[in-house]
Amino acid sequence: MKLRFAPSPTGLLHVGNARVALVNWLAARQAGGHVLLRLDDTDLERSKAEYAVALEEDLRWLGLDWDALFRQSDRLALYAAAAERLKPSGRLYPCFESEEELRYKREQQIRMKRPPLYDRGALKMTPEQYERALANGKQPYWRFKLSNRSIEWQDGVLGRRIVKLPSLSDPVLVRADGSPLYTFTSVVDDLESGITHILRGEDHVTNTGVQLDLWEALGGDPRALSFAHLPLLTDSDGGPLSKRLGSLSLRQLRRDGIEPPALAGYLAALGTSRDPQPATPAALVPGFSLGTIARSPARFDVQQLLAQNRKYLHGASFETVRERLPSGADAAFWEAVRGNLDLLSEARPWFEVVRGDFIPEPQATEADFLRAALGALPAGACDSTTWGAWTAALKAATGRQGKALFLPLRLALTGEGHGPDLGALLPLIGAEKAILRLRRAAGD
């Protein structure tokens, strides 16, 4: 079993493509197969080296690896040779129509209530007309002559699928400058590299029909190839996710503080009936099944992703996050704050609370209560029992309870109205700072 993930380095990797990469990886690893990373970079104007580097970095950050890697831009001679094999049979034929001419033809067909398909006008050229065009400085682009049949396959996710080739225009495979297009290069590479399974987005269903026809024309056996098309992701409102790709690139999610296991677990569960659980891709392999993915679009909800991130952080050990915490943070600090974090970056402000020289705002209306709290604070160093004993004594002395009891203390000690359990936080703040903050908050 050999699969491939084939992104184009024309932008940052977004969650839709990351899901496809993850599903390919899980299917291959579960079957003991191989994963090929192929950079489809023949669009030389849009493909950028920095995007190629970012793609590899982001995939590794998510927890994915691959058994081989190549770039299509290094294989142009292979595509040129494949094109020459198709020309003698007439399956690849030259065209000279300009975009303006093609647009005019489409408009005429629409006016006559016909589908705007390419009319294969170039096939009517005589050898003399072809030579004359070349002599006049024109360079042909090359179309693939589709078979007059329907292509059918049993899709691993969508079930039985049929593409009627006569309802499609013959695709351009090679531009006038000689550069090959995606439809062509993908088939040549899949054949040459021995790909057995192609898992990709539902937007490629029509491409699959065309590519299977091309696969056979190049000598491939369609029975040796399996397809599965994943329904596309939508946003939380059911709209196209592509409208938000800038904010949902893996690079941006990483900067925002999303943890790899949170994203991997969420993406793996999208479109299935399983509840997502944060996990590394390696841990997801045993439970993976392509058959659990539904045929309907799955909604990508940022709030649900944040919930997975929160779940992951709440269970993360100190050792897994140690290097990314503020310098000086220890296991006691992490245990105290992790249950209150959505993102790891939120740990830093709490570190400033317990280790910094925080000065609280005065609470004029609570001054008497805070002075009473100061007097009731148990003597000596603060430990895990201090908060409980202190608040119990204050409750008995003042009759306060609930928010009236706890909020003034929390605001005085941390400056926030909510946050980590003060029973764990107070020993980290220490008695000296607690006394100083209580005095400042009381206006003394």
Residue 246, pLDDT > 70, answer no
The amino acid at residue 192 is: E
The amino acid at residue 399 is: G
Describe the crossing of helices 182-192 and 76-86 by its angle, rounded to 10 degrees. Answer: 100
* Number of Cβ atoms within 10 Å of the Cβ of 190: 22
Question: What is the C-alpha separation between 40 and 63, in angstroms, rounded?
Answer: 21
Q: What percent of the chain is predicted at pLDDT more than 70?
A: 99
Question: What is the C-alpha separation between 258 and 305, in angstroms, rounded?
Answer: 8
Describe the crossing of helices 402-414 and 367-376 by its angle, rounded to 10 degrees. Answer: 80
**What values do phi and psi take at 355, rounded to 5?**
-110, -20
Question: What is the C-alpha separation between 123 and 368, in angstroms, rounded?
Answer: 95
Regarding beta strands 197-201 and 298-299, do their DSSP bridges make them parallel or antiparallel, or are they unpaired?
Answer: unpaired
Q: Quick one: tokens of 181?
A: 């297009």
As a whole number, mean pLDDT of residues 371-381 equals: 94
> How confident is residue 247, by pLDDT bands cut at 50, 70 and 90?
low
Structural domains present in the chain:
2-78+154-233 (3.40.50.620), 87-146 (3.90.800.10), 241-319 (1.10.1160.10), 324-444 (1.10.10.350)
- CA 397 to mean position of chain CA atoms: 56
Residue 59, pLDDT > 90, answer yes
> How confident is residue 175, by pLDDT bands cut at 50, 70 and 90?
very high
Provide the pLDDT for residue 444: 87
Which of 233, 166, 182, 214 minimizes the C-alpha distance to 39? 182
Q: Which residue has the tokens 């995007």?
A: 51
Question: What is the C-alpha separation between 378 and 391, in angstroms, rounded?
Answer: 10
Q: What percent of the chain is predicted at pLDDT more than 90?
A: 95
pLDDT in tens, 136-162: 999 999 999 999 999 999 999 999 999
Number of helical H runs and strand E runs in the chain:
19, 12
CA angle, 34 then 39 then 44, to 5°: 165
DSSP output for 22-67: HHHHHHHHHTT-EEEEEE----TTT--HHHHHHHHHHHHHHT---S
Question: What is the C-alpha separation between 146 and 313, in angstroms, rounded?
Answer: 53
Side-by-side strand order, sheet with 141-144: 92-95, 141-144, 172-174
Provide the pLDDT for residue 244: 44
pLDDT in tens, 342-364: 999 999 999 999 999 989 999 99
The amino acid at residue 409 is: L
Question: What is the C-alpha separation between 204 and 343, in angstroms, rounded?
Answer: 35
Torsion of CA 406, 409, 414, 415, to 10 degrees: 90
CB of 376 closer than 8 Å to CB of 389: no
Provide the pLDDT for residue 241: 73
